[in-house]
Copies of this chain bind each other. A is one copy, B any other.
């Protein structure tokens, strides 16, 4: 078997894994509603630019996906991710002039809401003596930003929010989003910050009812989630500018892993971040570069996403002008 045949085999394997994943997935509940919202959003923003060529549109994915262990789901494997990166990046993408499709895990951080405490409604408000309610002094700025800026972005048609929970929902929604994104060619960006499960239990292999406890050991066997990044780049939206993330807790293997992902999935850039320092700095790994991006520590409220989105926006502009130059 020669190399080209080997590669063909791998592709066939991936294709069959992808087919098995989608065949096995429970159908998305509100599929038609999502498609309608998306088409409307992309159409609106494709027409709206002054120069007539339409806005750049980024799909930001955010938060972790769950992999159910039972069909009537009581137990599942979850990937930790607060969604802070995705929510913060969305704010900077809007500032940079993008329209944003925010594909987020239910309950994860929302754009313009990251200075809020947990349970913001209970924490940020108090009852007055006349039993009316008012914002607590300490939170008045954070609450105003959250409500005013968030609603302004949604109401002006620049921010479309789509929630998911399971890996089945996430990948089906990503595929649906890629269809109208494909139509806008290199103006589309995917910024894949979600912490996607690497493993799942195929729907048909799951028990229907709750797994019974007992004195025995629970042995859960999960199979790898097919590498949809490859499929996204190759088939779903081949001209879109694609950024993926690599998070590791072990800094020794991080950059090699990021470089590996860049090549394996043919990404335009991989953002490498280490769990403990991820809010201070990241490394943007491209085919020619490794650029360390740090937040401006002289400003208390600067975010690493500020210089990160500036850099990616510049790279994206260069890519739009000449898609062939950056692969």
Spell out A's residues near B (CB within 8 Å): 66, 69-70, 72-80, 106-107, 110, 113, 116, 118-122, 124-127, 131, 133, 135, 143-144, 146-148, 150-152, 195, 198-199, 208-211, 213-224, 247-250, 275
User: Cβ of B220 and Cβ of A224 under 8 Å apart?
Assistant: no
Q: Given A133-B148, A249-B72: A199 and B224 within 8 A (CB)? A: no
Chain B residue, CB-CB nearest to A132: B144
A150 surroundings in chain B (CB, below 8 A): 122
Q: Given A69-B77, A217-B222, A250-B210: A127 and B147 within 8 A (CB)? A: yes
Give the interface SS of chain A, mostly helix, strand, loop or mixed: mixed
A79 surroundings in chain B (CB, below 8 A): 74-75
List 15 additional A-B contacts (Cβ < 8 Å) besides A66-B78, A127-B148: A69-B77, A74-B247, A76-B77, A121-B121, A121-B146, A122-B147, A125-B143, A125-B147, A131-B144, A198-B218, A209-B248, A210-B247, A217-B222, A219-B220, A220-B221
User: Cβ of B107 and Cβ of A121 under 8 Å apart?
Assistant: no
User: Cβ of B124 and Cβ of A151 under 8 Å apart?
Assistant: no
A199 surroundings in chain B (CB, below 8 A): 213, 217-218
A209 surroundings in chain B (CB, below 8 A): 248-250
User: Cβ of B210 and Cβ of A221 under 8 Å apart?
Assistant: no
Q: How far is the CA of A248 from the CA of B208 in the complex (A)?
A: 11
CB distance from A65 to the nearest CB of B (A): 11
20 A-B contact pairs sorted by A residue (CB < 8 Å): A66-B78, A69-B77, A70-B249, A72-B249, A74-B247, A74-B249, A75-B79, A77-B77, A77-B220, A113-B121, A126-B147, A127-B152, A199-B217, A210-B275, A214-B224, A218-B221, A218-B223, A218-B224, A220-B221, A220-B222
Chain B residue, CB-CB nearest to A71: B249
Q: How far is the CA of A208 from the CA of B249 in the complex (A)?
A: 9
CB distance from A171 to the nearest CB of B (A): 15
A148 surroundings in chain B (CB, below 8 A): 127, 131, 133
Chain B residue, CB-CB nearest to A72: B249
CB distance from A272 to the nearest CB of B (A): 13
CB distance from A278 to the nearest CB of B (A): 12
